[in-house]
Structure 1
C-alpha cells in the first residue's frame, strides 16, 4: 500500500509529458505494484485513464530501448485500465496502445496476443487508414509463421488493403503485364531527365494515404518476390509514379533502386539505370528516407553497382549499408549487406 501511495502522489504532482524517463519508470513501477488499489468507480475513471496513459508512455520508452517484453507488459496494463468506452472517448490513444502491444507481441513471438490486439483493431468501424498498422502487423505475423497456408493468406490480405486505400492493381497476369510494361516504358523515357529536384518540386508533402499505399506495396514486393513474381515490380512502378506525383515517400529511395535494377536487367538500359540509382542514393541522405537507406543501398549494390564499377570495390558500399542498417534498426537488410 505504501509504495502505491508514493506512486500515486508522484503521479498527482507531475505531468506525464514532462516526466523524465526514470521518473516514468519509477512512478509506473510503484503504482503497478498494487493495481488492485486503483479505484474502479466511474467517478475515478479519469484517474485510471491517467495511469493507463502513463503505462503507455512507459511502454513506448521501453520500445525505444528494444525492451519489447517489458513494453508489452506496460501496454497490457494500459489496456486493462482504459475505460469501457475507450474506443469512443480515447480513440487515437487506444489505437496506438493496441497497435504497439500487437507489434511487441509479434516481436517476442506471442502470436495469440498479437492476433488478439490486431483483431480488436480490424473489427472496428473506422477509416481504413487507422487499420493499416494492424494490417501490416498481421501480414508480418502470418509470414513469421512460415507455414504455406499462412503465407498464402498474405497476398490476398495486402491486395485487399491496397484496394481499400484506393490503389487498385490490375487483375490477372495478362493485365498486370500490360500495366507494368506500359508504366515501365513511360518511366524509362522520362528517367534520363530526372534529377533529385524532379522529385522534390512539390509544395506539400505526400498525404498519409499515399504513404500507406507505398508502405503496403513494399510489403507486397517482399512477399511476391518469392511466390507471386508478377506482382513484384508494382512496388517500384507504383511508388515511383506516386513519388513523381505527390512527393518523396519514406521508401521512395528503395523503390527507385528497384526500378534501376528492373531498367538495367529487363531493358538493358544501363545508362538510365545508373542515373536512377544515383538519384536513389542521393535520396537516401534525406531525413525522410533514413530508414530505407539500407534497403536502397543493398538493392543498388546487389543489382546495379557491378555495371558501374569493379565488383570488388563494392565491399565498402556493402559495409556502409550494413552499418547504417544496424544503426537504424533495419536488421534484415543490414545482415543481407553483411553476408
Structure 2
C-alpha cells in the first residue's frame, strides 16, 4: 500500500507539470518520473514502470541521468522472467559507459577472465585492497551499479557470462578505488573461485568482502551480499542449517529497503536449503506454501517457480501424487511449466527440475 500511495503522489506531481517542464524544469521532471517508475516497480505495476522509463530514456540529457532508469528496467524484466531483455538493456547502457559484456561463452573466456583478474590482484593482500582510496569517477560508479543489477539475470540464464561481472567489478575497484559496491564484487569473486575448487582463497575473499561491507555499511548491498554468502558460500565451512536464520534476516532487510529482487532470491535459497537439510516434508510443504504466497504478491516469477517446484517435490515424496517421478500436482505441472522455462531460458529452474526428478527416481 505504501508504494501504491507513493505512486499516486508522484503521478499527481507529474500531472501538474507544465508542458515545457522537460525544457525549463528538467531536474524536477526527471526526479518525478524516476521516482514514479521506481514506485510503480515496487508496487508491481510493471506496465506503468515501463511507460515511465520510456519517457525518461527519451528525455534524459546525460548517460548518468539514465542509470537509475536502467536499473529499474533490469529489475522489472527479471521479475517477469525476461532475462534476455534485462541483459540486453544492461549491455546497451554499459556500452555507453565503456564496458562490454562478453559475447562468447565457455570455459576459455572464464579462464582468461580469472587470469586477468588474478594479474590485477597480484601482490595485493586484503589489507592493501581494504585501504584503497574511494572510487569517485561517476561513470565507473554507474558501471558498477549496472553490473550488479544484471548479475542475477546472467546467473539464471547465461552462467558462462556471469563470472565476467565479478571480474569486471573487481578490476574496476582495484583501478579506480573502493565503493559501497566493491564488497559485492569480492563476494562474487570468492564464489567463482570456490566454484572452481579454490575453496580456501574463495572463502578468504568472501570474509574480506564482509569486512569491506562493514566499512561502507550500505544497506544498498546488504541483502545482495548476505544472500550470496549465507545462501551459497557459508556451506563450504558450516552446516547448511546455519544459513537459515541469516537468510531470513537478509530477506527482511531486503523487504524493508525495497530490494525486492534479492529478497525474493533469498526466499528461493531459504526454501532450497530447507529441502536439502532434510526438513520434515509436511513442514517443508507448509513453509514453501507460505513463501510462495509472498513471491506471488511480489510478482517475482522466477524464484516463485523454484519454490513451487520444491513444494511439489515434497508433495510427491509424501505420496500425494499418483506418479512419484512426475512433478504434476496442486503446486507444479512440469508438462505445462517446462516449455515456459525453456522459452524464458531459465536454466536455473530447468536444472533444478531435472535434478529433483532424478532424486525422485
Which whole-Å CA distance do the structure 1 matches of 2:89 and 2:173 have between them? 24
2:227 to 294, 298, 301: 298
Residue 276 of structure 1: aligned partner = 205
1:188 to partner: Cα distance: 4.0
2:218 to 277, 284, 289: 289
* 1:219-245 Cα shifts (integer Å, max 9, x gaps): 222111122222211221111111111
1:99 to partner: Cα distance: 0.7
Q: From the superposition, tell whether residues 255 and 125 of structure 1 become closer, same or farther in structure 2 (CA, over 3 Å).
A: closer
1:315 to partner: Cα distance: 4.4
Residue 95 of structure 2: aligned partner = 163
Helix, strand or coil for the counterpart of 1:152?
A: helix
1:250 to partner: Cα distance: 2.9
Which whole-Å CA distance do the structure 2 matches of 1:293 and 1:193 have between them? 25
1:213 to 120, 137, 143: 143
1:308 to partner: Cα distance: 2.5
Q: From the superposition, tell whether residues 324 and 337 of structure 1 become closer, same or farther in structure 2 (CA, over 3 Å).
A: farther
- Does the 8 A contact of 2:203 with 2:233 survive in 1? yes
Residue 44 of structure 2: aligned partner = 109
Residue 126 of structure 2: aligned partner = 195
Helix, strand or coil for the counterpart of 2:214?
A: coil
Q: 1:258 and 2:185 equivalent?
A: no
Which whole-Å CA distance do the structure 2 matches of 1:326 and 1:116 have between them? 24
Which whole-Å CA distance do the structure 2 matches of 1:336 and 1:182 have between them? 32
Which whole-Å CA distance do the structure 2 matches of 1:336 and 1:192 have between them? 38
Larger radius of gyration: 1
Residue 307 of structure 1: aligned partner = 236
Give structure 2 stretches of 5+ with no counterpart. Answer: 272-361
1:126 to 27, 52, 61: 61
Give structure 1 stretches of 5+ with no counterpart. Answer: 1-65
Q: From the superposition, tell whether residues 81 and 242 of structure 1 become closer, same or farther in structure 2 (CA, over 3 Å).
A: same
Which whole-Å CA distance do the structure 2 matches of 1:251 and 1:259 have between them? 13
- Does the 8 A contact of 1:322 with 1:337 survive in 2? no
Which whole-Å CA distance do the structure 2 matches of 1:115 and 1:209 have between them? 24
Q: From the superposition, tell whether residues 130 and 288 of structure 1 become closer, same or farther in structure 2 (CA, over 3 Å).
A: farther
Structure possessing the higher relative contact order (Cα contacts under 8 Å, 6 or more residues apart): 2
Which whole-Å CA distance do the structure 1 matches of 2:43 and 2:125 have between them? 43
1:145 to partner: Cα distance: 3.3
- The TM-score normalised by the length of structure 1 is 0.70
Q: 1:72 and 2:2 equivalent?
A: no
- Does the 8 A contact of 2:223 with 2:251 survive in 1? yes
Supply the RMSD in Å over aligned alpha carbons. Answer: 2.6
1:115 to partner: Cα distance: 2.5
Out of 285-294 and 223-232, give the one that drifted further. Answer: 285-294
Q: 1:332 and 2:264 equivalent?
A: yes
Helix, strand or coil for the counterpart of 1:123?
A: helix
Residue 282 of structure 2: aligned partner = none
- Does the 8 A contact of 1:323 with 1:334 survive in 2? no
Helix, strand or coil for the counterpart of 2:220?
A: coil
Q: 1:235 and 2:165 equivalent?
A: yes
Residue 12 of structure 1: aligned partner = none
1:126 to partner: Cα distance: 1.6
Residue 154 of structure 2: aligned partner = 224
Helix, strand or coil for the counterpart of 1:168?
A: coil
Question: Where do residues 175-190 of structure 1 align in structure 2 (5 Å cutoff)?
Answer: 178-188=108-118, 190=121
* 1:240-298 Cα shifts (integer Å, max 9, x gaps): 111111222333222211111111111x2222112101111112213353321232122
Which whole-Å CA distance do the structure 2 matches of 1:213 and 1:130 have between them? 13
